Structure 1
Amino acid sequence: MSWPLAVLQNTLMGIKPVARLARGLHSTGLSGDAGLARQVLRFYSRFVPIEGQDILEIGPGQTLEVLEHAMAAGAKSCSAVDIEAYVSPDQAKRKQIAYRIYDGMILPFEAGCFDVVCSYTAFEHLRYPAVTLRECFRILRPGGRLVALIDLCDHSHYGRAEPDPLRVFDCLRYSERLWNLMRWNRSSYVNRLRKSEWLTLFNEVRFLLRNEESQVNEEIGRALPALSYLHKYSHDDAVTAVLTVCLEKPGK
């Protein structure tokens, strides 16, 4: 897609009636896939206990099944927060999940009220990642943990009929100003933070890094000498496609 067309589409998505229509047609999260939801809960369980915990999931989209499975596994309470109402209050209530909408910055919860905060492929969409991380730190109890899987790729790449494996980081080709003009109002927006930048933010917020796993895009690695737009990054930042972290709030 050419950048002028992307800018036009982004502008249209800033118009509320257009945004509401698009939201009704948009699939996000795990799209209610129960099998994937169980996999994600198993992923969270690698890093944190579920039974007896007060758990918050950030950015579940249309999929509350992960938290529904967590309740069945003995979680004390489960809450979800998102920037759009992808599910109805009645749907959340039936699943015994407290569902809240927030402004992408301040999480609507009291300090120290969760044992676990988790997120699966949502942190890359944060418009204000430093603010959200500080908020996660605030609402966790001492010793509480944040688990996140962060997809560092260009999400518009996934919508292509025939994805080009060498275009997975196309979002990095543009200046910050042009990228925001192209994507800020759209679900395909990603904040483009690289692995080292995320790790720096975690440290600045004073989280303890308990686990860190990285998945590298081997094809990008092989083609890296020809991808000049990636040369400003360290090799690690240029080839890392997925970052998984378990962070702990100190003090327990």
Structure 2
Amino acid sequence: MSVRLRQLFSRFTADRQVRLGLLVSTPEPGELESLDLLLGHPLLAAASDPLGRALRDPYFPAPMLAQTIFADVTGMRFFINKNRPDLEPVLARELIEWCAAFARIREDLAAHFDPAAVTCIPLDGRRHPLPEAQWCRLCGLCCRIGGVPPEPPAGTRHPDHWAAILSGSELSNQQLCPFLFQYFGEPRYFCSIHQIKPIACRTFDRHDCQRRLAEPDLHAPAPAGTAAESVRPLPQRARGIDLEP
């Protein structure tokens, strides 16, 4: 029996998290092997190039995908086991679509905006300190959504194709906003277009956050000690080390 796509993604995520947690900028043999195995899956092989670009990106939120696309669904009246063989093509399609959207957003940010100013930190592959004097915990839970009204703030024009990505119509089954980036393997996530995000996101406040945190989760929580579980933040002294994008 072939290895399930879910298992391959989990292994890659675990190896990647370990490497980022050790402040190593270059993928090590174990991570490269797990990435090759993942990209070599029969359902992913045809899209290995664009997938590889996204999966190698230092801001790619792999644990969040493990907690959404690849997580069992338990918060509904029925249970969905993502290990089911008949769901393999669905998981593959959702991963390919999400990675394609993420990669295109990265290209758009470089082509149409200033990567040093479009969000809360410069997107140059360096560990710039994230903002801390705020109510947001950077958990990323509010971005586990199917989409928002794509209206930009006054004075800002988004690329035309962003409307479909933001509204959720670009992907077959959007469970996580493709504009969500991860901070170098830490359990902290940030909006890649924070300074120009849609009005619906800009008006999301502390009270909305508290309501969202109180809602039951659609997906099963990650088992303790797995790659999908939050990892311990790096010490303050570790920040400032470069990681190439």
TM-score, normalization by structure 2: 0.26
**By percentage of residues, which structure has more strand?**
1
